[in-house]
Amino acid sequence: MSDMNTAMVEKYRSSFLKEVEANVEEGDWVKMCMQCGVCSGSCPMENNWEHPPQELFMMIRANKREEVLSSSSMWMCTSCYNCIARCPRGLPITHIMHGLAHYGKRLGLAPKEQPTVKFSQLFWDNLTKTGRVNELKLGLSLYFMNGFGEGIKTALKMKDVGLGMMKTGRLNPFEIFGGHSCKGASDIKKMLAKAKEIEESNTAEFKG
C-alpha cells in the first residue's frame, strides 16, 4: 500500500464518499445519483463494464473503497458523453469516471494489466519527453507492451499499414532516433512538475 493511499485511508476511514468528494473531479455529484440506470443503458461499452456507473456510485456510498478504486470499470469509458446527455439529473458522469480512474492510479490501486491503464502511461511518458507525441515510438511501445512475442506478432500483422503510412509520409522511420520536439521542452517539464506538486499538496484537503 502506498504512503499516499495509507494517508487517505486514515483521513477518510469512516466515509469513502467524503474522500471522493474531496479528491475526485466532480466527485461531489456522486450523492445525486438516483440509481435509474439510464447511464449504463446509454453506454456503448455497456457489456464490458465490471460495474456500471450507477453501481460504482452506490459502492462509493457503501464505503467499498478498494473495490471501486481497483476496478477496471472507469478505464472502459470512451468519453462519448451519452451518459451525461441522458442523465435526468445532469450528473457529469464521464468526468467522474475519469476522475476515479486518475485518483485510483495516483494511489497505486489501478489494475496494472488493464490495457487502457498501460496505454495511458505509455502515452504520457512518450508525450512528456519532448512535448510532442513520437508516433513511431508510441506505436512500437504499444506493440510490445505485452511482451516481445506479442510485439512481433502485432508488428507483422500491422506491417502493411505501416508501409502505407511510410509511403504517404505519415510515418518517418528516423523518428526512432529522437523525432521532433516542442520549443522549450524543458520548460514544459518544469510546468508539469509544478502542476504535480500543487495537485499532491491539495490531495488531502477536503473543502466541505
128 in the same domain as 102: no
127 in the same domain as 102: no
Alpha helices in the chain (DSSP H): 3-11, 16-23, 38-42, 53-61, 65-69, 82-86, 93-106, 115-130, 135-143, 148-157, 159-167, 185-202
100 in the same domain as 13: yes
96 in the same domain as 134: no
Q: What's the CATH number where 27 sits?
A: 1.10.1060.10
- In angstroms, the CA 1 to CA 107 distance is 8
- In angstroms, the CA 136 to CA 162 distance is 10
Where among 48, 83, 111 does a domain terminate?
111
181 in the same domain as 156: yes
Q: What does each of the 208 residues of the chain score in pLDDT, given as a tens digit?
A: 577 888 787 777 779 999 999 999 999 999 999 999 999 999 998 888 889 999 999 999 999 999 999 999 999 999 999 999 999 999 999 999 999 999 999 899 999 889 999 999 999 999 888 888 888 898 889 889 888 999 999 889 988 998 898 888 888 888 888 777 888 888 888 998 898 888 777 655 543 3
Where among 111, 146, 166 does a domain terminate?
111
- In angstroms, the CA 192 to CA 208 distance is 28
Residue range of the domain that includes 143: 116-199
Total number of domains in the chain: 2
194 occurs within a structural domain: yes
107 in the same domain as 9: yes
104 in the same domain as 46: yes
106 in the same domain as 141: no
- In angstroms, the CA 171 to CA 179 distance is 11
Residue type, 204: A
123 in the same domain as 107: no
Where among 63, 90, 111 does a domain terminate?
111
149 in the same domain as 132: yes
The pLDDT of residue 85 is 96
50 occurs within a structural domain: yes
The pLDDT of residue 121 is 92
Cβ-contact 155, 143 below 8 angstroms:
yes
Q: For residue 120, report the phi and psi dihedrals to the nearest 5 degrees.
A: -60, -40
207 occurs within a structural domain: no
208 occurs within a structural domain: no
23 occurs within a structural domain: yes
83 occurs within a structural domain: yes
150 occurs within a structural domain: yes
The pLDDT of residue 201 is 74
Indicate the pTM of the whole model: 0.79
Identify the burial level of 27 via C-beta atoms within 10 angstroms of its C-beta, where 0-12 means exposed, 13-18 middle and 19 or more buried: buried
120 in the same domain as 103: no
86 occurs within a structural domain: yes
164 in the same domain as 94: no
The pLDDT of residue 202 is 65
